[in-house]
Amino acid sequence: MAAAASRASAFFDRLGVTAAEGNVPIELRYDPTVKDAAYKAKLGIVDGKPQLSDEHVDVGKDPFTGKPFSDAPDVLYHELSHHVVSHIVPGLGMSAGSKIVDESLADTFAAAIDGNWTMGEGLVGGSGLRSMQDPSSQLMLDGSNRVVVPTPSKVGDVTEATMQKGAYFNMGPLNHAAYLIGTSQGSDTMARIYLQAVRKHLGPESSMTDLVVGTIRGAGELYGSGSTQQASVRDAWKAVGMRAAAVDATH
């Protein structure tokens, strides 16, 4: 676990993420009785400003394979990315819509750290628990079983009905957009664009649309309006079903 934390910290340090933005050591608590891996923190208000306390990452054991979640470093990268994002945008993920954005951001940065587009392959092999390259299906809970479930791959497939199934079920279109940007421009450039969006354009209640606007504007701020990087971001969002007129209108 220490090696994963060190690699994540080095990655965020290379992107210029500061200690105030969450790029500091956090306690990793391994407990084999826990059946998940999760970033935990208490969010309060001190002197009118949001403040996080009791931050830690619970690392448990996968009940299906019997393996500790630390066998999949990208799972830890996902949780450590939550740590950073939570410091930059405290409260992101507390509403249903922003939870989808929050979970996709954690996958996006984890993929850039890990160097591939699957999550959790260290636990289950193959394409892991989910694939950002092919997000139309992923392993999800069905009662007491974990099975491959068709999930939304286009923005229009995310409906009020699918929203009832949670963030992981619905974040495929966002994940695939990040994959398209990363394969076009490189995962490091992709991560810098998303970090700019988090820093400058997202708030606690940010929605999928806010992430679209934030990444397009972020790419323009970093690489120039009309740059190939910004064009790649626009093309990615169109490819996952965002309306072309809305995407092209964002500056």
Domain count for the chain, please give it.
1
The residue segments making up the domain with residue 107 are 2-248
Q: Encode the chain (251 residues) as per-residue pLDDT tens digits.
A: 999 999 999 999 999 999 999 999 999 999 999 999 999 999 998 877 888 999 999 999 999 899 999 999 999 999 999 999 999 999 999 999 999 999 999 999 999 999 999 999 999 988 899 999 999 888 987 777 889 989 999 999 999 999 999 999 999 999 999 999 999 999 999 999 999 999 999 999 999 999 999 999 999 999 999 999 999 999 999 999 999 988 988 88
Q: Are 132 and 109 in contact (CB under 8 A)?
A: no
Query: What b/e readout covers 175-203, taking b as 16+ CB neighbours within 10 angstroms?
Result: bbbbbbbbebbebebbbbbbbbbbbebbe
Q: Are 177 and 236 in contact (CB under 8 A)?
A: yes
Pick from 127, 244, 124, 246: which is nearest to 179 by CA? 127
What is the pLDDT, as a whole number, of residue 50? 85
**CATH at 225:** 1.10.390.10
- What is d(CA 6, CA 47) in angstroms, rounded to the nearest whole number? 33
